[in-house]
């Protein structure tokens, strides 16, 4: 064991690797100088922690004594490890530039991404930003993506799948989903709060089309996405069953790690026409005495640019599985909400020049 | 018709609940109310094992070109008769229970002490059930860990027991707790037992686990009980079982001798 | 009703005038020691900076231990392979010695005197009149 300790003392102490931003992105450090000081040199006894804003609580706080020498040793040790990882990354980058085989290149890129994560994931500044300053997260950095993905795995992903499964969106629309992207949805003029999957939304909220954010955790490279909103609960009186209706479709939407918003500023041109729409937005207009209707938002990754023939969308029963297969789409994310009849539905129908809704009655056979 | 749902994502409902946000953090997170500090002091026994014993045990247990020795297994019916369907399996030839396979010894399976199981059966508790409390506390003091009560499982009028009577206490200790227990035994308790010869070489369950016992007088020598001896008028004897990752009893005894335990008597298997 | 302890008190029986036998007191003390009531340590209040500093220290220690263990495993592998190659050579060279080296080591014991090292030496540093157990038995 002593031999191993001796080895570290002969290595040049790279105690400033994470303070050097010449080769690394500046987003990996903390911008607030006071906060950085408190994190790396210790909470000042006179001022108190920077993170606590309340003055009384600031004064009351007592830091654990004796942390600083331990922290400095730990910090140096972690930077030494990161230094070795960066050297390995350089080697892999050289290999990537030399290879031509696409499969080998993909494997090397995956390895490089893993190393990029491990080189920065133990950086205290990165950890602080990931944990406590989510607004400063720069998703072009692998370490930040890693922490964001961890957080999503522990809550958002499970919540989404729970809702999709219990409300039978799977398998009533697509057969199943392996979620890879974090999809959030917001209806404008609704107080600007993200929709919880499966929530009941008022028809006045859903009158205007929503805006999405698609957070990709892998490194993106001009990836195009398709977004479809389908309603599998449109009643079909003739067959005494339900049809699936396509309420909105967007194709060839360009999303990257950092540019995650899918809203009108991105999609509409100078005249206000949405070039990505394959069919105009049809708002939820549930009919009276029906059970609630589910609205599933499916986010697909496209293999290439897609040109959709609007003729096939005129079918009253939209087959989403067939649509995905013909256009080479892979489902990577989803969302959902529910709607039921309320007193604003008729106003929404008038606004969109839709026919008057039917009133259903229970019919005993 | 019930549609199958393919659960591609394992859902942990506890993490989706809004209750107890501190308990949703990892167990080693200091903000968790269930946080337990680890590595608070040097583990002498672990250091001695990794520095000295491990490489010696690798050499001692090495056998050249060793093959996997199949243990005695239960025998399935071959299906030659239609009556074999759902028939219970036959016991192993010559034995009531199965025995484990003995795998070749490599650098990956050097015998280690896994855990120590301590059992305290209190016969007097049949008449005076409050003695179980004293036995429980005794084990707690010795082991520095959570102790479990032992209750009778069946009614046997000849022995004077009913089902569900508190009849003793047991504890399992792992890691640093187990190592300090071993060093306490070897340095403070066992050297002071009169006429202590060691652990018998006959002890063992054929699977690498060795047991020995201490009388109530021996247990008094534990420093935790000796410190306030006047409160411990009545102590209780214990059975100590060393569960090791050794594959045979002989290897387990070699390991325990390295940890400081003397052995006596004839060794058969 | 035999075998029941009656407390005769002046007025209603309550906490003030109750008497407990020493045996009961002993059992109650034992129960108090077993229960975890009011024995939980206080939750450490750490601010955000200190939490990340704590995480940095514990992560570094964890990775350090992992490295030590990985190096130890590598050394064990090296040792195993050197034993294997040595035995292969010995098998070719001298079959008698090979069989002696390959015998089962059942009954082998580490020396009792090879105690677990301590920071400070024992109270009796050197036993001048030492005789090993086997020699003492013969005598």
- What's B198's domain CATH number? 3.30.1440.10
Phi/psi-derived region of residue A314, left when phi > 0, alpha when psi is between -120 and 50, beta in every other case: alpha
Question: With contacts defined as CB-CB under 8 Å, which chain A residues touch B9?
Answer: 157-158, 161, 178-179
- Interface of C to A at Cβ within 8 Å reads 44-57, 59-61, 63-64, 67-68, 71
Taking residue C101's Cβ as centre, other Cβ atoms within 10 Å add up to 16
Residue boundaries of the structural domains of chain A:
2-131, 147-351
Q: Which residues of C touch A42 (CB under 8 A)?
A: 53
Each residue of A52-96: pLDDT tens digit? 999 999 999 999 999 999 999 999 999 999 999 999 999 999 999
**Pick from C61, C76, C104: CB nearest B54:** C76
pLDDT at C43: 86
Query: Can you give the length of chain B in residues?
Result: 269
User: Residue B3 and residue A168: Cβ atoms within 8 Å?
Assistant: yes
**Chain B nearest-CA residue for A1:** B51
Question: Closest chain B residue to A164 measured between Cα atoms?
Answer: B5
* Subunit partners of chain C (3 or more CB pairs within 8 A): A, B
Residue range B231-250: mean pLDDT, rounded: 97
Helix, strand or coil for residue B148?
strand
Interval A116-161: pLDDT, tens: 999 999 999 999 999 999 999 999 999 999 999 999 999 999 999 9
pLDDT band at C138 (very low <50, low <70, confident <90, very high): low
Query: How much of chain B exceeds pLDDT 70, in percent?
Result: 98
Cα torsion C80, C84, C85, C87 to 10°: value is 140
Residue B115, min C-alpha distance to chain C (Å): 19
Tokens representing A79 are 């930077």
Tell me whether residue A30 is exposed, middle or buried, using C-beta atoms within 10 angstroms of its C-beta: 0 to 12, 13 to 18, 19 or more: buried
d(C-alpha B56, C-alpha B53), whole Å: 5
Q: What is the pLDDT of residues C105-129, one digit of tens each?
A: 999 999 988 999 998 988 888 889 8
Contacts of B6 (CB under 8 A, 6+ apart): A170, A175, A176
Q: Which residues of C touch A77 (CB under 8 A)?
A: 60, 63-64
- What integer pLDDT is reported at residue B154 of this predicted model? 96
Chains touching B, CB cut-off 8 Å, 3+ pairs: A, C
Residue B175 lies in a domain: yes
Rounded Cα gap, residues B218 and B190, in angstroms? 8
Q: How far is A4 from chain B (nearest CA, A)?
A: 13
pLDDT in tens, B4-39: 666 889 999 999 999 998 889 999 999 998 898 999
Q: Which of A267, A262, A265 is nearest to A277 (CA)?
A: A267
In this prediction, residue A309 carries a pLDDT of 74
Phi-psi category of B164—alpha, beta or left, where left has phi over 0 and alpha has psi -120 to 50?
A: left
Task: Inform me whether the pLDDT recorded for A248 exceeds 70.
Answer: yes
Classify residue B9: in a domain, yes or no: no
Instruction: Domain of residue B182: give its range.
Output: 113-264
Q: What is the pLDDT of residue A2?
A: 40
Does the beta-carbon distance from C34 to B30 stay under 8 Å?
A: no
Task: Examine residue B188 and state whether it is found in any structural domain, yes or no.
Answer: yes
Number of separate domains in chain B: 1
- For A36, the token pair is 């950085």
Structure confidence by residue, pLDDT tens digits, C12-42: 988 888 888 999 999 999 999 999 999 988 8
Residue B255, domain member (yes or no) = yes
How many angstroms separate the CA of residue A71 from the nearest CA in chain C? Answer: 6
Whole-angstrom Cα distance, residue B204 to residue B255? 13
Q: Residue C50: its chain A contacts at CB < 8 A?
A: 43, 49, 63-64, 67
Whether B43 is covered by a domain: the verdict is: no
CATH number assigned to the domain covering A147-351? 3.90.280.10
With beta carbons less than 8 A apart as the criterion, state whether A307 and A327 touch: no
Give A70's contacts in chain B (Cβ within 8 Å).
Answer: none
Best residue of C42, C46, C47, C67 to probe chain A, by most A CBs closer than 10 Å: C47
CB contact under 8 A, C43 and B33: yes
pTM of this prediction?
A: 0.89
Which residues in chain A have Cβ-Cβ distances shorter than 8 Å to B3?
168, 171
The whole-angstrom distance between B223's CA and the closest CA on chain A is 32
Residue C102 touches partner B, C-beta closer than 8 Å: yes
- Stretch A9-14: mean pLDDT, rounded? 46
What confidence score (pLDDT) does residue C3 get? 62
Those residues whose C-beta lies under 8 Å from the C-beta of residue C54, and which sit 6 or more positions away, are: A64, A67, B30, C46
A300-to-A163, A256, A297, A315, C79 alpha-carbon distances in Å: 19, 14, 10, 21, 54
What is the arrangement of strands in the sheet containing A293-302, beginning at the earlier edge strand? Answer: A199-200, A329-339, A293-302, A223-236, A241-255, A277-279
Please give the C-alpha separations between residue A336 and each of A160, A293, A329, A341, B223, in angstroms, as whole numbers.
8, 11, 19, 17, 64
Distance CA C40, CA A184 (A): 42
In this prediction, residues A334-345 reach a mean pLDDT of: 97
B253: contact with C, CB 8 A cutoff: yes
- pLDDT value at residue A10: 39
Tokens of B199: 């652990």
Torsion sign across C-alpha atoms A72, A78, A80, A86: negative
* Residue reference for tokens 């954010």: A213
CB C109 to CB B263 under 8 A? yes
CA C119, distance to chain mean position in Å, is: 17
In a domain? residue B67: no
pLDDT per position as a tens digit, B212-237 = 999 999 999 999 999 999 999 999 99
Please report how many Cα atoms fall inside a 13 Å half-sphere around the Cα of residue C68, on the Cβ side. Answer: 15
- Chain A positions touching C60 (Cβ under 8 A) are 73-75, 77-78, 122
Residue A1 has pLDDT above 60, yes or no: no
- The answer as to whether B140 is a domain residue is yes
Using a CB-CB distance cutoff of 8 angstroms, which residues of chain C are in contact with residue B254?
A: 105, 108-110
Asked whether the beta carbons of residue A124 and residue C55 sit closer than 8 angstroms, the reply is yes
* Residue B23, domain member (yes or no): no
Report the gap between the CA of B10 and the closest CA in chain A (Å).
7
Between CA B121 and CA C49 the distance in angstroms is 51
For residue B25, the tally of other CB atoms under 10 A from its CB is 15
């Amino acid at each position: 064991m002593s031999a191993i300790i001796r080895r570290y003392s002969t290595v040049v102490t790279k105690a400033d690797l994470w303070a050097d931003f010449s080769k690394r992105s500046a987003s990996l450090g903390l911008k607030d100088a006071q906060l950085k000081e408190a994190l790396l040199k210790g909470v000042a006894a006179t001022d108190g922690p920077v993170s606590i804003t309340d003055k009384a609580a600031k004064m009351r706080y007592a830091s654990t004594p004796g942390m600083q020498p331990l922290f400095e040793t730990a910090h140096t040790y972690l930077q030494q490890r990161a230094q070795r990882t960066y050297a390995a990354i350089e080697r892999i980058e050289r290999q990537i530039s030399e290879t031509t085989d696409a499969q080998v290149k993909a494997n090397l890129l995956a390895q490089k991404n893993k190393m990029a994560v491990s080189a920065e994931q133990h950086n205290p500044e990165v950890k602080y930003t990931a944990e406590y300053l989510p607004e400063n997260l720069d998703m072009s950095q692998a370490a930040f993506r890693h922490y964001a993905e961890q957080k999503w795995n522990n809550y958002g992903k499970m919540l989404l799948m729970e809702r999709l499964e219990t409300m039978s969106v799977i398998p009533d629309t697509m057969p199943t989903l392996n979620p890879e992207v974090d999809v959030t949805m917001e209806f404008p003029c609704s107080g600007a709060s993200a929709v919880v999957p499966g929530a009941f939304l008022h028809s006045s909220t859903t009158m205007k089309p929503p805006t999405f954010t698609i957070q990709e955790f892998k490194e993106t490279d001009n990836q195009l996405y398709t977004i479809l909103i389908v309603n599998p609960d449109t009643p079909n009186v003739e067959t005494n069953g339900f049809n699936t209706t396509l309420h909105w479709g967007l194709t060839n939407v360009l999303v990257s790690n950092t540019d995650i918003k899918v809203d009108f500023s991105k999609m509409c041109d100078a005249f206000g026409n949405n070039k990505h729409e394959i069919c105009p937005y049809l708002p939820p207009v549930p009919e009276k005495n029906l059970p609630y209707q589910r609205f599933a938002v499916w986010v697909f990754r496209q293999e290439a640019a897609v040109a959709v023939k609007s003729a096939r969308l005129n079918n009253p029963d939209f087959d989403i599985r067939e649509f995905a297969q013909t256009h080479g789409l892979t489902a990577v994310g989803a969302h959902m909400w529910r709607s039921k009849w309320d007193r604003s539905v008729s106003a929404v129908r008038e606004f969109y020049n839709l026919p008057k809704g039917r009133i259903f009655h229970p019919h005993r056979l | 018709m019930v549609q199958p749902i393919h659960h591609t994502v394992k859902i942990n409902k506890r993490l989706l609940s809004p209750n107890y946000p501190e308990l949703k953090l990892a167990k080693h997170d200091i903000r968790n109310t269930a946080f337990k500090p680890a590595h608070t002091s040097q583990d002498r026994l672990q250091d001695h094992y990794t520095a000295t014993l491990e490489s010696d045990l690798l050499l001692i247990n090495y056998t050249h070109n060793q093959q996997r020795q199949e243990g005695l297994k239960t025998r399935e019916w071959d299906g030659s008769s239609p009556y074999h369907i759902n028939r219970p399996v036959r016991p192993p030839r010559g034995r009531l229970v199965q025995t484990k396979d003995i795998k070749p010894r490599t650098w990956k399976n050097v015998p280690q002490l896994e855990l120590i199981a301590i059992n305290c059966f209190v016969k007097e508790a049949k008449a005076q059930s409050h003695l179980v409390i004293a036995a429980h506390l005794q084990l707690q003091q010795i082991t520095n860990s959570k102790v479990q009560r032992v209750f009778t499982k069946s009614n046997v009028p000849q022995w004077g027991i009913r089902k569900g009577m508190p009849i003793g206490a047991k504890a399992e200790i792992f890691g640093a707790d187990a190592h300090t227990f071993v060093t306490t035994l070897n340095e403070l308790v066992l050297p002071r037992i009169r006429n202590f010869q060691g652990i018998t070489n006959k002890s063992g369950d054929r699977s690498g686990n060795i047991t020995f016992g201490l009388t109530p007088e021996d247990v008094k020598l534990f420093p935790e009980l000796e410190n306030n001896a006047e409160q411990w008028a009545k102590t209780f004897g214990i059975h100590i079982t060393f569960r090791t990752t050794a594959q045979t009893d002989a290897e387990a005894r070699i390991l325990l001798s390295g940890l400081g335990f003397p052995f006596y008597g004839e060794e058969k298997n | 009703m035999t075998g029941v302890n009656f407390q005769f008190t002046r007025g209603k029986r309550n906490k003030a005038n109750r008497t407990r036998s020493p045996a009961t007191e002993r059992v109650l003390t034992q129960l108090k020691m077993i229960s975890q009531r009011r024995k939980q340590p206080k939750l450490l209040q750490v601010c955000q900076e200190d939490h990340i500093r704590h995480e940095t220290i514990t992560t570094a220690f964890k990775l350090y231990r992992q490295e030590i263990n990985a190096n130890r495993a590598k050394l064990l592998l090296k040792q195993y392979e050197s034993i294997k190659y040595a035995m292969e050579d010995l098998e070719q060279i001298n079959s008698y010695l090979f069989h002696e080296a390959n015998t089962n080591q059942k009954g082998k014991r580490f020396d009792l005197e090879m105690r677990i090292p301590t920071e400070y030496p024992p109270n009796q540093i050197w036993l001048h009149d030492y005789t090993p157990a086997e020699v003492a038995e013969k005598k």
